[in-house]
Structure 1
Amino acid sequence: MNSIATRFYATSAIFALAGMTWGIQMSASGNHTLSPAHGHLNLIGFVAMAVFGTYYALSPRAAASRLANIHYFLTVAAVLVIVPGIAMAIKGDGEVLAKIGSVLALAAMAMFAYVILRNGAASTNSVEAPSLNNPTS
Structure 2
Amino acid sequence: MQKLDRTYITVGMIWLIAGMIFGAWLGGSGHMNFANSHAHINLLGFVVSTLFGLLYWAFPAMARSKVAMWQFLVYEIGILMLIIGKIMIDNDGKETIFLQLGSVVTIVGTAMMLYLFVTKSGSEARA
Of residues 78-87 and 88-97 in structure 1, the stretch that sits farther from structure 2 once superposed is 88-97
Amino acid at match of 1:62: M
Correspondence 1:117 to 2:118: yes
1:60–1:123: 8 Å Cα contact kept in structure 2? no
Q: What does residue 126 of structure 2 align with?
A: 127
| Shift of residue 46, structure 1, vs aligned partner | 0.5
| Shift of residue 93, structure 1, vs aligned partner | 4.1
User: Which stretches of structure 1, 4 residues or longer, exceed 3 Å deviation after superposition?
Assistant: none
1:22–1:38: 8 Å Cα contact kept in structure 2? yes
Q: Give the root-mean-square deviation of aligned CA atoms.
A: 1.4
Q: What is the count of residue pairs matched by the alignment?
A: 125
Give the alignment's TM-score, normalised by structure 2.
0.91
In 1, the alpha carbon distance for the partners of 2:86 and 2:126 equals 41
In 2, the alpha carbon distance for the partners of 1:49 and 1:66 equals 19
Deviation digits for residues 53-99 of structure 1 (CA, Å, limit 9, x no counterpart): 00000111111112110111111101210011011122134321110
In 2, the alpha carbon distance for the partners of 1:82 and 1:14 equals 16
Give the alignment's TM-score, normalised by structure 1.
0.85
The one of the two structures with greater contact order (alpha-carbon pairs below 8 A, sep at least 6) is 2
Structure index of larger Rg: 1
Unaligned runs of 5+ in 2: none
Map residues 72-91 of structure 1 onto 2, 5 A cutoff: 72-90=72-90, 91=92
Correspondence 1:7 to 2:7: yes
In 2, the alpha carbon distance for the partners of 1:13 and 1:127 equals 23
In 2, the alpha carbon distance for the partners of 1:5 and 1:123 equals 17
In 2, the alpha carbon distance for the partners of 1:85 and 1:104 equals 13
In 1, the alpha carbon distance for the partners of 2:116 and 2:109 equals 10
Unaligned runs of 5+ in 1: 129-137
Amino acid at match of 1:15: W
Correspondence 1:40 to 2:40: yes
Report the 3-state secondary structure (helix = DSSP H, G, I; strand = E; otherwise coil) of the residue aligned with 1:127: coil
Report the 3-state secondary structure (helix = DSSP H, G, I; strand = E; otherwise coil) of the residue aligned with 1:67: helix
